[in-house]
Amino acid sequence: MEKSHNENSNDSNQVSSKDGSSPNNPSNYKKQSDKQSNKQTIFLDVDDVIFNSSEVVLSILNKKYNLHKTDADIKDWSYNSIYRGMTRMMVEEIFESDDFWSQIKIREEFINSILKDDRIRKGYNWAFVTQGNNNNLLKKVVFFLNQPEEYKEYFDSVEFYGIGLNESKNKVDMINGIQVDDNFEKLSNTNAALKVLLKNDRETKHNNYGCATEMVNRDDLYIINTFKELENILLFNLEERIF
């Protein structure tokens, strides 16, 4: 990971690292030279975009409460649709548990459409923008640092933005970038040039217009179901630079 940003660090986001940069710090030169490339940045959410997070939560809750729910039953990120009585604290506990982390995987779709496609992987700069409590964010960083050799170069180059659960993703400057998230609300107030809602073939209360009415009729929004569609958008954009 090129640089980790999280809410507890003094250098907590891209804006402050720019403002606070010192010419005497060699790492700033590296950052400036990176910015000279005219590659666009793709800002990716992590849970249910790169990770199979809800699949893991579903399996944990099915086992714990002896349920037989399927992916189609997932309707909300507090997972009350799976087990009524889930509280925010219970969800947080799952997202930092060893049980969760032993089952978390990088999704095949992400590997096939992004990591294995040289044009896409090398044609853009990459950033992960993800929310979680401190423990969860730390485990995410460690997970990405421990990826196989073949993808090491990619994960080493990614900028990681850890956002607290009570914060907004709009603290990250996404100007000229493309943001991908499975939650409408997280797309609604950032300054990304293009916002892509990835539905993963799910219908939840977080991916319909009801949760972000300001997103209706925007021409800077794409709604897609699969990574294959994102792959096509990103390839087309490399040739035409439409955003």
Map the footprint of Mg ion across residues 53-92, applying CB under 5 A.
none
Task: Give how many residues touch Mg ion by CB under 5 A.
Answer: 4
**Would you tell me how many other CB atoms lie within 10 Å of the CB of residue 130?**
22
Q: How far is the CB of 49 from Mg ion (least distance, A)?
A: 6
**Would you tell me how many other CB atoms lie within 10 Å of the CB of residue 124?**
19
Closest CA to 83 of 63, 113, 99: 63
Q: How far is the CB of 103 from Mg ion (least distance, A)?
A: 17
Q: How far is the CB of 104 from Mg ion (least distance, A)?
A: 13
Q: If binding is defined by CB under 5 A, does position 45 make contact with Mg ion? A: yes
Of the pair 5, 199, the CB lying nearest Mg ion is at: 199
Q: If binding is defined by CB under 5 A, does position 48 make contact with Mg ion? A: yes
- In whole angstroms, what separates CA 124 from the centre of its chain? 15
Of the pair 44, 61, the CB lying nearest Mg ion is at: 44
Q: Which stretch binds Mg ion (CB under 5 A): 24-32, 33-41, 42-50, 151-159?
A: 42-50
Q: If binding is defined by CB under 5 A, does position 231 make contact with Mg ion? A: no
Please give the full DSSP string across 186-209, using - where no structure is assigned.
HHHTS--SEEEEE-TT---TTSSG
Tell me the residue nearest to Mg ion as measured from the CB: 47
Distance CA 79, CA 85 (A): 9
Of the pair 45, 159, the CB lying nearest Mg ion is at: 45
Q: Which stretch binds Mg ion (CB under 5 A): 32-40, 47-55, 66-74, 117-125?
A: 47-55
Distance CA 66, CA 133 (A): 28
Are 207 and 183 within 8 A, CB to CB?
Answer: yes
Q: Which stretch binds Mg ion (CB under 5 A): 57-65, 85-93, 153-161, 178-186?
A: 178-186
Among 109, 182, 184, 212, binds Mg ion (CB under 5 A): 182
Distance CA 95, CA 139 (A): 10
Are 102 and 56 within 8 A, CB to CB?
Answer: no
Q: Which stretch binds Mg ion (CB under 5 A): 48-56, 63-71, 136-144, 229-237?
A: 48-56
Q: Residues near 102 by Cβ (< 8 Å), separated by ≥ 6?
A: none
Among 4, 13, 44, 47, binds Mg ion (CB under 5 A): 47
Q: How far is the CB of 53 from Mg ion (least distance, A)?
A: 7
Q: If binding is defined by CB under 5 A, does position 109 make contact with Mg ion? A: no
> Can you state the percent helix, strand and coil of the chain, rounding each to 5?
45, 15, 40
Read off the tokens for 107.
């999704």
Binding region for Mg ion (CB under 5 A): 45, 47-48, 182
